[in-house]
Each structure stands twice: as C-alpha cells, then as structure tokens.
Amino acid sequence: MAVLGGCSVLCRADTMMKTQTVITDSDPNPNVVNPSVTRKIQYRHGLMRREESFGAASTASIANIANCATRAGFLIDLDAHEYRNYKLPKFASKAQRDEYLQKTGKTAIQVASKTVDTGERKVFFGYQARHLITTTKRADAHGSSGGEETLDGWYIDHELPDHDCAPDFVRSEPYYVTGTALVDYPDIAQVHHTGPLPRGLAVKSQLISKLAGTKKSTAVRIITIEKTVLELSDSPLSLSIFELPNGLHENPQLFRGRTSPNR
C-alpha cells in the first residue's frame, strides 16, 4: 500500500468529524422541497488528511486523501475502484493578490463584512460555543445592491479538518475567514471587515446568500446552506485510513469535466 506521509512528535491531536450539509436553491431549478443533502466524514492526523463523501448509500462513494507536507493528494472513486493524483491548491497572500491586480490592471470587487457576537453560549461536544452572525454585502458598479449574505453560526475552539492544508495566514485574513459567494472567479474580493473574525470550528451554521439578478434574469436568487457537525472525536486514528487501498486503477481523467463533491 502507498502511504502519503507520516507524523512527527510535533503532530497535533487526531480529529474525526462527521458533517451534514443541506443546500436549497431558488433558481434556476428550485429544490426547496427536495434539497441537496451531502454527508462527509473528515479525518486529520498530523500532516495527513482524509475526506469521505456519501451519497444516498450508507457507505462512502468518494474518498480524498491529502498530505500537507508534500501537498499531494489522491482522489478515489470507491465504487469504480479508480483514483488519480492531484496537487493541493495554493493560497495567495494579500500582497500576492495586490500584485496580481496591479499586473493585470484589474480592480478588486469591494465587499463589506461585519461580525456580531450575540453573547449567547451553548455547549457542543464538551466545548463552549460562541454564537456569531456575519453579514456580507457587495455593491455593484452602479452603487446598487449586488448581493448579501448572512452567516449565522456557533463556533468552538477546535482545529478545523483543513483538508486543503491552508497556511497560518489564512486563519487571520478576512478574505479567507469570512469568504463569499458574491464574487466569482476570476474576480478578486477586497474585504473590509469589522467586528471579531468568526474563527474556530463552526459546529452549526446557516448561510443565506441573496444574489442580485443578472441581465438575463431580474429575479433575486436565494441559496441556503445549513451545515451541522453530527459527531466530533479526538480519539487516536489508524494510519491505515491515510493509505491508498490495494486493487485500484489509476485514471488521470477521473471526475474531470463532470460534477464531483470533491475537486
């Protein structure tokens, strides 16, 4: 069996997290009655990561293994017994984003976000959670509303699964911490944030995105994403789950050009 990496004495505690994400979309094909439901199990051990995605079946159909040291990963179709290699994404610092905008002559999309601590506290999995609400707004080029997002979440002081092995600066930049679906690639958002950053692990959250109408449609599109952590454990993990299973065939085109719950 191939192993992507190991763990040194500096490794952090193991983590296993089961989540459920429910997405409803008002346009173009409303699915409010039958929302999209995704279930995942994520594992973290030192520099190793694993993520399993479930469909309607009780067993995982897709697995994703990553090594933060080598920034290499395996995307695995467990049903077809196929896999392909991939490289983890790179995260641009603020200085690099500014340099890119200057070189390309582009202008960043201005986004304003504000986080309010409601003062409410609850206990999840033995950790006290903070109730934070973050509102994000974008104005279009004409000054009218270009969209608005509201993220209502409960946050605990616990490591994130961090499947993309993000560098430390990602956890302190509003550009990454708050995030937004109001700005589409290749545009870049310039986030002006006030209030506390919603750091930590969101054990329960609801994101409501109201996207302004386009030239083709004047209707406002509303997307709601509800994410819940169903189970959280810091018990030791078996290193075998970070190994590429035997009997798989390499397929360099796996999931390319079609929808996948992973990359």
Question: How far apart are the C-alpha atoms of 28 and 219, rounded to whole Å?
Answer: 10
Q: The pTM is what?
A: 0.85
Question: How far apart are the C-alpha atoms of 31 and 156, rounded to whole Å?
Answer: 31
**What's the angle, vertex CA 65, arms to CA 162 and CA 225, rounded to 5?**
50
pLDDT at 141: 55
pLDDT at 260: 46
Length of the chain: 263
229 backbone dihedrals φ, ψ, rounded to 5° = -85, 115
HSE value, Cβ hemisphere, 13 Å, CA-based, for 222: 8
Q: What is the mean pLDDT of each run of 10 residues along the chain (263 residues)?
A: 41 80 74 80 95 85 95 95 95 91 88 97 97 90 70 95 90 90 86 95 95 66 93 94 94 76 50
